[in-house]
Structure 1
């Protein structure tokens, strides 16, 4: 009997000791690390006056520095700001003033335009790295929400004919130029060669259909870099709708000076197979390519996605607009 009671006592003691240790570990995890400082000294002069002065310096520079800084005109900037301001604005508190919506949009546009690291933007805008990471995500979500309806395909034959008017002088019956772009990224964790492309970089693919003014009509974003432009196109929503005859293309009609009915087509390069509604690159009398690929002419100058460490795996159908 004495031995049994001794075993029970030891077991109880060990259990109690184990529970106390676990409670201590939980308290340590929950304990909030004390801040070494409330705000870094370089952030102290980040006032509304400082923000306005920074914008005015860029805006009134005669060489057009604002357009280069944000990769858009100030009128376009104001248009976006008016749309997303209610979605990204924050309230001031007793401790500090909120970062204005104008500054939040400028931080995001600069990141997308240059691909600068958060640390670099931190020194430029005097906003902490952690706050910049939050701002960019919030603003990108807001931009996607307000602009998603601006990229849409025509729903009628008349809409496609309006696009054809822009190409008519150089290539009659063209209703859009189709091309793909490899956007370089850092290799996602445990992805192997899934995003490794023929250019020996890691990338995701942007496949876009544009009109003669480089305006996007359709875009498919997120396919793995190992997939060719033809493979991306064959799995995108646009091709699925074409083969199901769900798109109201204009009926075939003769070209000028001919009596043979010819279908309306997309212009593309050799990466996409020739079919009823696609053609290859065409050059005009001056030897210049008509449109395919020219919408991405400035893309290689900057790339924000190179600094994104994690790009989730996506199927070729993911991200279609």
Structure 2
């Protein structure tokens, strides 16, 4: 007969043997190819060569090595994992490389799994976790809540660069194609006959994102998404530290600060949209041209974002909640890269800008909830653009 102490010792021994057997089985599940990650994986073989060639590094990660290292320094602690007794943890640098490669190319997780010698589930977890960490740690820095001074600076830049005074930003929505979520019905099915989520963005005069709303159902309209977004509600409640009315340049006429959008948005005292209709008189057509010239900045920003992160050229295959983090991460990185690697965006901006001759045809009539004040504000801007103080030499040729 065994004593209680001897039975306890036997139980501990059996438990240790069971754990060792379990770990051995787990080790057997790792494919032979994955065991060579440290010697034959893409990070082990290619990264050191990319470091020696700035051009190739930028082409591979869509950012400079300096930008990569600064980004890594900001999130390295959060990315670090503990080694286990049977496997060495993937380094923060490699985790960031995997995530950026996914965003930069749009390659499938399976493709990256093979090239980096990592399991498919491991790659998926690395991408999702890294996107969450970037969002949580850089959101407040790259997309801060604008102060009154920041709004004034944005408005100054819009007038200096795009000849639209008292403008706080250009607003638009972009449909991001995704794999149809399970049991979602027609919620994500949009007018383009694809499944999507919507990225609603407010952009400044230099193509930086000021505010974004991510994850709205693809079936919803831009105007409806804006009305239900945090940005739309804050503007309606006047809780965004927006400056008081200011005189239009070289005049004594005071006008509110506004954002500019296309015909999908409602006319508000703080939101200007084009005059609807086809047979417009000259002054209204000039207003539409001047507004569209400022508004196209947000379309250009979407073009730059798509060119920078090729994941947008394919249908994103991930859970809806993870898609939101992926999109938000690209917006944050867009601002981050522009801040660190200013010169690298010159080609992107040049190659993605939309022609100024925006077509103004068949703009739908706005709904009946537009206030008289909103009409009055639009008239103020129209009159300014057609006056000696506010006109530009080429506007009559453009319309």
TM-score normalised by length of structure 1: 0.78
CA offset at residue 284 of structure 1?
Answer: 6.1
C-alpha contact 1:188 1:312 (8 A) present in aligned 2 = no
Number of the residue aligned with 2:315:
306
Q: 1:61 aligns with which of 53, 58, 76?
A: 53
Identify unmatched segments of 5+ residues in structure 1. 1-30
Q: Displacement, 1:40?
A: 2.7
Per the TM alignment, residue 312 of structure 1 is displaced from its structure 2 partner at its CA by 5.1
| Aligned equivalent of 1:228 | 221
User: In the alignment, is the contact (CA less than 8 A) between 2:261 and 2:295 conserved in 1?
Assistant: no
User: Aligned-residue CA RMSD in angstroms?
Assistant: 3.1
State whether residues 269 and 292 of structure 1, in contact with CA within 8 Å, keep that contact through their aligned partners in structure 2.
no
Cα displacement (A) at 1:313: 12
Out of 238, 249, 260, which is 1:256 matched to? Answer: 249
- CA separation in 2, counterparts of 1:103 and 1:56? 12
Alignment correspondent of 2:391: none
1:42 aligns with 2:62: no
Partner of 1:238: 231
Question: Aligned equivalents of 1:313 and 1:32: distance in 2?
Answer: 30
**C-alpha distance in 1 between matches for 2:168 and 2:221:** 23
Query: 1:36/1:175 Cα in 2 relative to 1: closer, same or farther (>3 Å)?
Result: closer
Check whether the contact 1:174–1:267 (CA below 8 A) recurs between aligned residues: yes
Cα distance change of structure 1 residues 308 and 33 upon mapping to structure 2, 3 Å threshold: farther
Confirm or deny that 1:184 pairs with 2:184: no
| Paired residues for 1:68-217 under 5 Å | 68-150=59-141, 151-155=143-147, 157-169=148-160, 170-217=163-210
Report the secondary structure of 1:196's partner residue: coil
Of the two, which has the highest radius of gyration? 1
1:106-131, CA deviations, whole angstroms, 9 ceiling, x for partnerless residues? Answer: 11111122222221001221111121
Change in CA separation of 1:122 and 1:244 when aligned onto 2, cut-off 3 Å: same
Structure 2 distance, partners of 1:175, 1:256, is 15
Distance 1:247 1:300 in 2: 29
Deviation, 1:48, is: 7.3
2:11 alignment partner in structure 1: none
For residue 296 of structure 1, the aligned residue among 294, 302, 311 is: 302
In 2, Cα distance between equivalents of 1:59 and 1:214: 29
- How big is the shift at 1:36? 8.3
Q: Work out the CA distance in 1 between the residues paired with 2:84 and 2:35.
A: 16
Which structure shows the higher helix fraction? Answer: 2
8 A contact 2:170–2:295 mirrored in 1: no
Instruction: Give me the whole-angstrom Cα distance separating, in 1, the residues matched to 2:121 and 2:146.
Output: 42
Task: Decide whether aligned partners of structure 1 residues 244 and 250 sit closer, same or farther in structure 2, where only a CA change above 3 A counts.
Answer: same
Kept in 2: contact 1:268–1:280 (CA 8 A) = yes
Contact 2:79–2:92 under 8 Å retained in 1? yes
Q: Structure 2: which 5+ residue stretches go unaligned? A: 1-21, 275-287, 333-399
TM-score by length of 2: 0.64
